[in-house]
């Protein structure tokens, strides 16, 4: 990945943050989308800011954005933008949402940014390079057993009923004495995992814009991401596997998590 592309991705995050910060805990308008989730003027302003830069500097690249859809589908290089991942947290005034920026090459994530514009925390992951947090190298932590692992999800209410059961089986293995998983956080949880503060994140129903940026961040820090079958994530995973995602700080724990999910 060229330094120019990485610099561009960072400028996209800067522009989104500049659009979001003045509206955080302020006065803004919101609407309900077809899926009953909220969209605010901050979501739209941030995506518009990023799109303006891409249209000016990378007019041949595709763009897939949560708020404004797809442009130049089928391009070899495609930018995937989620201006505010965790809009509910933004609405509630909780600074644990994030801007997600990914670059796909032929459908595979090769660059990802998780940016928390209020705390000014930024994780940058690039295929074949180590992940950084605010410019400093980071790594996931080792986890020798699923028992005692720190497990997180945004909300089990987002899962289908059968997915909740699979998730709760992992929680039971990790917390045999007292169930105490981490709830809330959206993309912020994956940054915390990359920095070595969480061990496992499990989600269901994610869209491409929800997970594409997370893969280079987590894997560049020494972790791994997969679907609930253990397969790598690509542009088609949301459709093929229902957006069921596992992130692990310690890749060796994958079989333990899959076994627990299946009831083993």
Binding residues for Mg(2+): 66, 82, 84-85, 210
Torsion-angle region of 77 (φ positive above 0: left; ψ -120 to 50: alpha; else: beta): beta
Residue positions forming the annotated binding site? 66, 82, 84-85, 210
Q: What's the rounded Cα separation, in Å, for the pair 262 and 221?
A: 28
Residue 80, φ and ψ in degrees, nearest 5: -115, 120
Pair 113, 9: CB distance under 8 Å: yes
Q: 252 near 162, Cβ under 8 Å?
A: no
In angstroms, what is the C-alpha Rg of the chain? 17
Neighbours of 105 (CB within 10 A): 13
Sign of the CA dihedral with 29 first, then 34, 37, and 42 last: negative
Distance CA 209, CA 64 (A): 8
C-beta separation of 15 from 79 below 8 A = no
User: What count of other Cβ atoms lies within 10 Å of the Cβ of residue 196?
Assistant: 18
In this structure, what token pair is assigned to residue 193? 């995992």
> In this structure, are residues 90 and 40 in contact, taking their beta carbons and an 8 Å threshold?
yes
């Amino acid at each position: 990945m060229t330094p120019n592309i990485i610099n561009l991705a960072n400028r996209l995050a800067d522009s989104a943050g500049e659009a979001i910060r003045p509206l955080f805990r302020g006065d803004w308008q919101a609407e309900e989308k077809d899926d009953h989730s909220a969209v605010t003027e901050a979501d739209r302003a941030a995506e518009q800011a990023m799109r303006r830069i891409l249209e000016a500097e990378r007019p041949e690249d595709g763009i897939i954005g949560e708020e404004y859809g797809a442009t130049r589908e089928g391009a070899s290089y495609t930018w995937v933008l989620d201006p505010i991942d965790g809009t509910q947290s933004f609405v509630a005034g909780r600074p644990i949402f994030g801007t997600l920026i990914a670059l796909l090459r032929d459908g595979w994530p090769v660059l990802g940014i998780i940016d928390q514009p209020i705390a000014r925390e930024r994780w940058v992951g690039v295929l074949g390079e180590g992940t950084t947090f605010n410019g400093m190298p980071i790594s996931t932590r080792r986890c020798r057993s699923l028992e005692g692992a720190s497990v997180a999800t945004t909300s089990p209410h987002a899962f289908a009923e059968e997915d909740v059961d699979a998730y709760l089986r992992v929680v039971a293995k990790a917390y045999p004495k007292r169930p105490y998983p981490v709830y809330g956080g959206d993309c912020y949880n994956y940054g915390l995992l990359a920095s070595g503060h969480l061990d496992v994140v499990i989600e269901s129903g994610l869209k491409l814009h929800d997970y594409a940026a997370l893969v280079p961040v987590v894997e560049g820090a020494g972790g791994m991401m997969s679907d609930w079958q253990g397969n790598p994530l690509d542009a088609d995973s949301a459709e093929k596997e229902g957006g069921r995602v596992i992130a692990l700080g310690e890749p060796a724990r994958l079989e333990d998590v899959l076994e627990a999910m299946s009831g083993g």
